[in-house]
């Protein structure tokens, strides 16, 4: 609502596209919705009113897209992805406000009703037989939830999903997550080899998740000095104080 008010005050022409126009603009619309959601997601505790409102508005828009275009599988996939993420919000921090990675989260804090809705949306999307980025990302979230809930290792399947997503998107962010999945399925050395394939990408020089992933993999392969340096870079690049403390603890745990 604040965004609409700013648009009005600036005198920018604004109108909601007609239903028949939406399909042609769908990719841009979905990307914008997800970008807004991701900005709100940087406030895991929901304590920042502006970011909390942004997340709620993004979810509203994602739902609206699925209502206006109920046969667009990517709209369904995006909403499923966002709901999976939102369902785990309360578990991302412990009682002291410290960061908790997915594997260590208290599943009783997950919103299982919301997860069920996300799963239903993914099944609806898959029935159309047209695969896209948001469906794959939603499927990855579903796979992670299934593993945590059942204890069944499904890392090979996760790697296959990342392979498909990387072929579709070619993003270094996807490549990093793929490497971490490879570490679970094939070992840290194979994962470092996969990470090395994108090491020359200039966008990674100041990208915290790359250095955090590299540090984790180096630690697992018995290279504590290199891991410590990678952690140092990741810590310096991280804006979230809780995540920074988490990385510092990982760095302090290194031996050698």
Binned at pLDDT 50, 70 and 90, residue 14 comes out as very low
- What is the reported pLDDT for 39? 86
Q: How many structural domains is the chain composed of?
A: 1
Asked whether residue 183 is domain-assigned, the answer is: no
- What is the reported pLDDT for 48? 54
- Whole-model pTM: value is 0.86
Under DSSP, the state recorded for 238 is: -
Handedness of CA 106, 112, 118, 122 (dihedral sign): positive
Q: What is the chain's mean pLDDT, rounded?
A: 89
- What is the reported pLDDT for 40? 81
SS3 99: strand
Greater pLDDT, 2 or 83: 83
Residue 38 CB coordination number (10 Å): 14
Among 203, 201, 211, smallest CA distance to 233 is for 211
CA 123, chain centre distance (Å): 20
Asked whether residue 192 is domain-assigned, the answer is: no
- What is the reported pLDDT for 53? 79
Beta bridge partners of 93: 99
Asked whether residue 147 is domain-assigned, the answer is: yes
On the question of pLDDT at 1 being above 60, the answer is no
Cα-Cα-Cα-Cα dihedral of 94, 183, 139, 212, to 10°?
50
Which residues have a Cβ under 8 Å from the Cβ of 241 and sit 6 or more positions away?
A: none
On the question of pLDDT at 63 being above 90, the answer is yes
Binned at pLDDT 50, 70 and 90, residue 45 comes out as low
Domain interval for residue 54: 1-152
């Amino acid at each position: 609502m604040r965004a609409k008010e700013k648009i009005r005050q600036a005198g920018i022409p604004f109108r909601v596209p007609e239903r028949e126009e939406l399909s042609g603009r769908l990719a841009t619309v979905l990307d914008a919705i997800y970008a807004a959601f991701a900005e709100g997601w940087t406030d895991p505790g929901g304590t920042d009113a502006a970011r909390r409102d942004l997340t709620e508005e993004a979810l509203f828009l994602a739902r609206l897209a699925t209502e206006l275009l109920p046969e667009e599988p990517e709209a369904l996939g995006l909403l499923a992805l966002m709901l999976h993420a939102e369902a785990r919000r309360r578990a991302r921090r412990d009682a002291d406000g410290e960061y908790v990675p997915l594997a260590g989260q208290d599943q009783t804090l997950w919103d299982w009703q919301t997860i069920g809705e996300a799963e239903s949306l993914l099944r609806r999307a898959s029935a159309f037989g047209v695969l896209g980025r948001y469906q794959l990302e939603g499927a990855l979230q579903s796979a992670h939830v299934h593993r945590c809930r059942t204890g069944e290792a499904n890392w090979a399947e996760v790697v296959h999903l990342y392979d498909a997503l990387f072929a579709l998107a070619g993003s270094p962010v996807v490549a990093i997550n793929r490497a971490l999945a490879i570490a679970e399925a094939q070992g840290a050395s194979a994962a470092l080899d996969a990470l090395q394939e994108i090491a020359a990408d200039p966008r990674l020089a100041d990208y915290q998740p790359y250095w955090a992933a590299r540090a984790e993999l180096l630690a697992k392969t018995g290279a504590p000095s290199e891991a410590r340096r990678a952690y140092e870079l990741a810590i310096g690049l991280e804006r979230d104080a809780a995540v920074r403390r988490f990385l510092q603890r990982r760095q302090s745990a290194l031996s050698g």
